[in-house]
Every structure is written in C-alpha cells, then in structure tokens.
Amino acid sequence: MSNTSNPQNGASSSDPHLPPVLQATAEVSASGDVLQRARAFAQPLIDSELLDTAENVWAHAQASAAILADIGGSVDMQAAIYLVYACPHLNKPEEVLTKAFGANLAQLAMQTNQLVHLQRMSRAAASTAMPGDDPKLQTENVRKMLLAFSRDLRVVMLRLASRLQTLRHFAASKLPVPAALAHESLHVFAPLTNRLGIWQIKWEMEDLSFRFLEPDTYKQVARLLDEKRAERESYMTAISQRLQTELSAQGVRAQVQGRPKHIYSIVKKMRGKSLPFERVFDIRALRVVVPQVVDCYQALSWVHEHFTPITEEFDDYIAKPKANGYQSLHTVVRDVDGRPIEIQIRTQAMHDHAENGVAAHWAYKEAGTKGYAGVSATSAYDAKIAVLRQLLAWERDLSGAGQDKGLFDDRIYVLTPDAAIVELPQGATPIDFAYTLHTNLGHRCRGAKVDGAMVPLNTPLANGQTVEITAIKEGGPSRDWLNLELGFLVSSRARAKVRAWFNAQISSENIARGREAVEKLLQREGRTAMRLEDLAAQLGFKSADGLFEVVGKDEYSLRNIEVLLNPPEPALTPDEIVLQRKSRGSRHPKSPSGVLVVGVDSLLTQLSRCCKPAPPDAISGFVTRGKGVSIHRQDCSNFRELNLRNPERVIDVRWGERKPGPDAAVYPVDVAVEAVDRQGLLRDISEVFSKEKMNVIGVQTQSIKGMAWMTFTVEISDSAMLARVLGSVKSVKGVRNARRR
C-alpha cells in the first residue's frame, strides 16, 4: 500500500479513495506539533529496543503511524502510537505522559499499551493450550475484549495499525510467524476492519494471515490466478474507465470502481460454496453507483448489451432485498476474451447502507446465518456493533472527551493467571469470577489476588486485570454473599449457585433427620433387615432419599409406614368366630384352635394376625389383657418385641393333634408376591392356588411404576406344603419373588 500523505502532517481529507466513514476524520492538525514532540520523546527510549517479533520498536512505531495517516487517523492517534511503546520504559508512565501531553493522550497510550500486553499474554496461553481446549472460544473472547476493553475507542484503530505492521514485518523478514498471532489476525482483527469499512487494511491483513497459516494453499491459488495482482488491478481500471465513459454517453452519471478479489476471499468462496477455481466468477468485479433506481436498470441493460451475460448468475436484490435490507443488482458477464466479471449496480443510498448499514450485514457475511457467536443478526448485541462503524467519524469528538464510555459498559474482561479471558458483568467481584470458572471453585473461594495484590472479595474488577483465586480444600459459601448491600456478588448466575448450595445443605439435613426417624421405626417394628429402597418404592417414592426428605420436613407421617408394615387385620370369618366361642366353653387342655396350653386349663387362645401361624410352625404364646393368649410364630418380629418388653407373660404352647381328611382344621397365611404388572397377572396367580386346592380368602394389590405388590391370604392345614405352592407361583410369567409373610 502506498502512503497517501506524510505521517508527519496527517492524511489529506480530499483523498477520493478513502471510504466515506474515513473522510470525516481525515483532516489533521495543521501544526503537527504534538506528533513531533511525541516522536522526540519516544525515540531515545525505543530506538534500540526490539519487540518479541524481533522488529525494531522505533521502526514499528513509524510504520504504524504511517498506516494511521493512510486511513485518516488524526495527529493525536499518530502521536499516541509512539507513546504506547514508551510506556514500559517509564516509572510512572501515566503521570509523566499526562504532564507532557495531557490526560487524553496519556490515557489513549496507556490503555493501548495494556491491551497490547494482554493480547500478547493471551496468544502465549493459546500456544500452550491443551489439545482439547476450544480455540474458537478463546478467539471469541479476544474479539470481544478488543471491542470492550478501552473507554476510548481510538484504541481499536491503534491496534489495527500496529497489527498490520507486524504482519508486514513478518512478510518482509521471512521469519517464522507464531500460529496464534496469525490466527488472531485472521479471525479477530481482519473481521473488525471489515466492520469499520477499512477495506485496504482488511484485504491485506487477510491475505498475509492466510499466507502464514496455509502457505501451500496460498501459493496454489496464487499460481491459478493467470495474472499478478497489479496486472489484474490495471485491467480492472481500464474496464472501469471504459464502462464509466460508455454509461456517461448514454446519459447515466455513474461512479465505476474495480473490485479485484484477493486470494483469501477467493479461497473462502471456493470452500464455502464447494466451487472449483474456474467457477469463482467474481475474481474480477466492478461496482457501479448511480443516482436513481431507474439508472440501475438502464446501466444493467447497457452492460448486458455489450458483454455476454451468464444468465444463472443474475440476482435482483433491488426488487427482492436480502433479509438484512441489502439492495443491489448482481450480474456476471464475460468480456471479449471470455473472462468472467462480476458487476454490482446500486444507488448511492443502497451503497451507503451496504457499506455502513446494519450490523446484520457483517454478521451474515462473516458468521453465517447464525450471526456472531450464536447471536442472531438482529439482536441488540449486533446493533451495538453497528454503532462501531462510526468510530472514525467520532474520532475528533472523542479526542476532546477522553472519558467517553465504550460500547460494552455492561461487560468487562479479565484474565486468569494463565491468560485465559473471562467475560463478566460490569462491577463483578472475585467471587463472580470464581463461580464463572467453576461452581466448586466459587464455593471454596476464600481470597483473591488482583494483579498480584490481595483484595477484599467484594472488590469490583476492571477490564484487563489478572485475577487469582485462593480456595480451601473443602467448604461452602457464606450467607453474606447473598446480601446485596455487602456487594459480594453481581452475577445473578453466581447468586443462583450460592442459593442452590444452601438449599442442598438444608435438603441433606432433612434427609439425615428423616433417615434416622425411619430407621428407628423399623427397629421398633423388628424390620431392620428390610431394604430402604424397597420400602420407599412400596410407598410410591422414587428413592429412599425422597422418602427421608419429606419425613425430615414433617411432611409425611410415619403412620403411613406403620400401616404398610402392619396392615389392618380383616374381620373374623364365621368359622373363626365359632372356634373362639367353642374355646370359651372348653374344659379340655386342647383348645378348638388346635393349640395345647401347657399347665393352664381352658384359656382363650387366638391366632395372631401379624404372623398368621399354622402347623407345624414353631409357636409361642403371649398372655394379653382381656383377650386370652395370642399365638405367634417364634420368628415373628412383633413377638420378639413383646418378649423383650414383658418376658413374664410369654408361655409355652404347642400344636395339638390334627385330624386328617376333609374335616382337618385350616389356618389363614399371607403370601407376598412381587411381579411385573401386566394384564391377567392376578388371574394366573389365582389359578395356581386353585390347582393346589387352596382357598383364597383375601387379596391386596398395589401397582407402582409397572411393578405389582400383591398379598394373598390363603387357608392351609399344614404350612409345610406352602413351599411347593410358592415354587409354582414363582414360575408364573413376570413374578420376581413369592414368599410367606
């Protein structure tokens, strides 16, 4: 790129090649005194210094100032680039520069220097990143930090000029280029120049970065181009002049400019549309700008008359604008030698919109239909970026108002000790930072260092600071963090994580309290062997912890568990009533229930409902108050509890003689069945009892999430035969377990 003005004196405002957004700021101070003083101030400090790219710092500053002059940067901006590199050599740079050049220029130099330092650290971190780290995420953070870091937006322009000079240095010196620097230039800096409309920097930065990242592809495409860049531009200039002259003769006042495609844009189109090189029609392109819409179609008619149009490549975006409002006529024609030329025809208003319009345009071109970082092209975020296009137009106002705020005052960007960039809300504290990195780190946060110095945990962070968290091995947050007046947390997401931690603690306490209550109940009932998960499932809970939590919160009565363990006894059958009546009048030691009471004559006896004993079960008796002797199986949990409390009331009993045949006494017993619930299950199990000639006198069923829990009360004369029947029940389809209760 050739300089259009002397960097000592600034850029000429009459340069017709500058985009309109740059023309407004192309005028510079007539005296140039501040630029001369900045050069004289910085040269002794940086004349013999080298950057980490091995470039001489003084030469870099001079070249960067020339680039700024080329794109219309003011004298202050050119002066600031020298002071940026003087900052590291001053003990108190802000104080010294403020006295020598004023607060505005000092702040511009200081902030740009800090941004240079932070981005250098970020590239260093990216170069040592683990293979699994996402480079796109780090690139996105660098992009946002570049936009949001400085309160003086001229910092962005200084960084663009400096980065372009760095790329030029590597191209000229043939030194190896750090991959992180080239990647950052292509994916962060070049798109930013596109947003600002600084096309001459955009194409050069893209081509140089791509050349460093993919040298083989770059050389291959360069070979495919049948002309060198200068020859292509010369050809396009001739075509432009001819077209403008011919249109003028037709009465159409038109501005015709050549738009030669550059290597990186050619590769992007080939890859994006899967096109071979010969199908990229807009390697040579012209733009025709006319006053009125009618002139657009008149110009198109002339073009199609004098060139050979490629019909399928014609698009009328005037009649049918793109979703982002873009309007233009696009056509591809062939010249007399058969070479394709893309021609865009639009009015000045359409051109201004395309060049400096809504942010949706750049989002569409550079991030696809999803927009920027997954944000839709019509979002508020993109609207903010659209304002950034006016950066150079505002430059003079900003130069006199150094404290004007940037576009992203609601966000800040800080660094981890490894130079990873973290996005936070404005006013965020070290605790917000810790929770953003990892929830567990936030819980355990107990201290923080900001730029190497310990600070209180409610200290608001600022752009560009490096934050290091001190954490304990175990622990949780403080309730003070939720107090808004104390200012420990700004992020609503971090506050939600703290509240969730305390809610989890309360839940844990309730679960522990509920578990203790349930386990005490089971111990009291003699059912300590029962699986807690099974108990919870029978009560309709997803897990044992779910049961414990509601019990611990006093939202679920333990009486429900007692009823499950000891269901209410059914009413006496007529036969049992007869047996009891006979037992009251008996004078023989053998009771009608078939139980012989040893040493006591004619006591009333009853079979316990809790364990339903049947011969030949081992049994014992317990003397009740007013109801005679209750007969229990010796393995009955209720009996064991009674024996522990009142052993003096336990008496020895045994079964009496049993009558064989159909008149033999029968005894009710409970059979518990666990099965996968299905249609016909109850019928199939009942058929098993029927085949065994067992009378079913009661059934209880409960279905929970596809599982059936069933209790059958059957009459048997001998419990020994029950084992064979249970085996038959277990063979029924879907039955998982069958046992006597």
pLDDT for res 62: 95
β-partners of residue 711 are 672, 700
Residue 307 is given by DSSP the state S
pLDDT for res 12: 36
Percent of the chain, pLDDT > 90? Answer: 20
> Is 482 contained in some domain?
yes
* Rounded-to-integer distance, Cα 144 and Cα 193, Å: 14
> Is 370 contained in some domain?
no
pLDDT for res 404: 41
Q: Is residue 264 predicted with pLDDT exceeding 90?
A: no
> Is 371 contained in some domain?
no
Phi, psi of 303 (to 5 degrees): -60, -45
CATH number reported for the structural domain that contains residue 715 in this entry: 3.30.70.260
pLDDT for res 45: 92
Q: Is residue 384 predicted with pLDDT exceeding 70?
A: no
417: confidence class by pLDDT, cuts 50, 70, 90: confident
Q: Is residue 583 predicted with pLDDT exceeding 70?
A: no
Say whether both 235 and 349 belong to one domain: yes
Say whether both 198 and 232 belong to one domain: no
pLDDT for res 577: 43
Across 16-25, 56-65, 406-415, 437-446, least confident range: 16-25
* Rounded-to-integer distance, Cα 77 and Cα 70, Å: 12
Q: Which residue has the tokens 């092209």?
A: 377
Contact 632, 613 (CB under 8 A): yes
Say whether both 598 and 645 belong to one domain: yes
pLDDT for res 140: 58
Region 452-474: mean pLDDT is 89
| Angle subtended by helix axes 430-437 and 492-525, to nearest 10 | 60
Q: Where are the alpha helices (DSSP H) in 400-543?
A: 430-437, 439-444, 492-525, 532-538
pLDDT for res 227: 56
Across 81-90, 267-276, 382-391, least confident range: 382-391
Q: Is residue 18 predicted with pLDDT exceeding 80?
A: no
Contact 377, 364 (CB under 8 A): yes
Boundary-marking domain end, from 523, 541, 565: 565
Listed residue (33, 27, 32, 34) closest to 12, CA to CA: 27
Phi, psi of 50 (to 5 degrees): -120, 145
Boundary-marking domain end, from 565, 586, 608: 565
The CA-based angle 46-157-403, given to 5 degrees, is: 95
Listed residue (722, 738, 717, 711) closest to 614, CA to CA: 717
Region 311-334: mean pLDDT is 84
The three-state secondary structure class of 200 is helix
Selected residue with higher pLDDT from 581 and 501: 501
Say whether both 694 and 594 belong to one domain: no
Residue 592 is given by DSSP the state T
The mean pLDDT value of the chain amounts to 76
CATH number reported for the structural domain that contains residue 340 in this entry: 3.30.460.10
Across 226-230, 522-526, 606-610, least confident range: 226-230
pTM of the model: 0.47
pLDDT in tens, 34-81: 999 999 999 999 999 998 889 999 999 999 999 988 877 788 889 999
Contact 154, 80 (CB under 8 A): yes
Contact 168, 59 (CB under 8 A): no
Amino acid at 127: S
Read off the tokens for 692. Answer: 């065994």
Say whether both 679 and 650 belong to one domain: no
Cα→Cα distances 378→323, 374, 385, Å: 10, 12, 11
Say whether both 62 and 197 belong to one domain: yes
Phi, psi of 404 (to 5 degrees): -60, 145
> Is 364 contained in some domain?
no
Contact 245, 205 (CB under 8 A): no
Cis peptide before 417 (omega within 30 of 0): no
Region 349-370: mean pLDDT is 47
* Rounded-to-integer distance, Cα 684 and Cα 687, Å: 5
Tell me how crowded residue 256 is: count the other CB atoms within 10 A of its CB: 24
Tell me how crowded residue 624 is: count the other CB atoms within 10 A of its CB: 14
CATH number reported for the structural domain that contains residue 419 in this entry: 3.10.20.30
* Rounded-to-integer distance, Cα 78 and Cα 105, Å: 11
Across 139-143, 626-630, 709-713, least confident range: 139-143
> Is 692 contained in some domain?
yes
1: confidence class by pLDDT, cuts 50, 70, 90: very low
Say whether both 79 and 108 belong to one domain: yes
Contacts of 547-551 spanning 24+ positions with Cβ under 8 A:
547/514, 547/518, 548/510, 548/511, 548/512, 548/513, 548/514, 548/515, 548/518, 549/507, 549/510, 549/511, 549/514, 550/514, 551/513, 551/514, 551/517, 551/518
Listed residue (341, 338, 337, 320) closest to 329, CA to CA: 320
Say whether both 57 and 165 belong to one domain: yes
* Rounded-to-integer distance, Cα 454 and Cα 445, Å: 13
Give the number of domains in the chain: 6
Amino acid at 598: V
Cα→Cα distances 240→2, 233, 586, Å: 21, 10, 130
Say whether both 91 and 58 belong to one domain: yes
Contact 17, 2 (CB under 8 A): no
pLDDT in tens, 142-178: 655 565 554 556 788 888 899 999 999 999 998 999 8
Listed residue (668, 703, 689, 698) closest to 732, CA to CA: 689
> Is 662 contained in some domain?
no
Selected residue with higher pLDDT from 555 and 208: 208
Rounded (10°) CA dihedral 720, 724, 727, 731: -150
> Is 215 contained in some domain?
no
Boundary-marking domain end, from 452, 467, 490: 490
> Is 314 contained in some domain?
yes
* Rounded-to-integer distance, Cα 402 and Cα 107, Å: 7
Say whether both 103 and 36 belong to one domain: yes
pLDDT for res 213: 92
Q: Is residue 5 predicted with pLDDT exceeding 70?
A: no
Say whether both 6 and 130 belong to one domain: yes
Contact 507, 449 (CB under 8 A): no
| Residue range of the domain that includes 645 | 574-655
Burial code of 141-166, b = ≥16 C-beta within 10 A, e = fewer?
A: bbbbbbbbbbbbbbbbbbbbbbbbbb
Q: Which residue has the tokens 């006093």?
A: 554
Q: Which residue has the tokens 């936030």?
A: 442
Region 320-336: mean pLDDT is 80
230: confidence class by pLDDT, cuts 50, 70, 90: low
Tell me how crowded residue 208 is: count the other CB atoms within 10 A of its CB: 23
Burial of residue 273 (number of CB atoms within 10 Å: 0-12, 13-18, 19+) = exposed
Q: Where are the alpha helices (DSSP H) in 253-390?
A: 263-272, 293-306, 348-356, 359-367, 380-388
Say whether both 194 and 233 belong to one domain: no
Q: Which helix (H) or strand (E) holds 148?
A: helix 135-148
pLDDT for res 539: 86
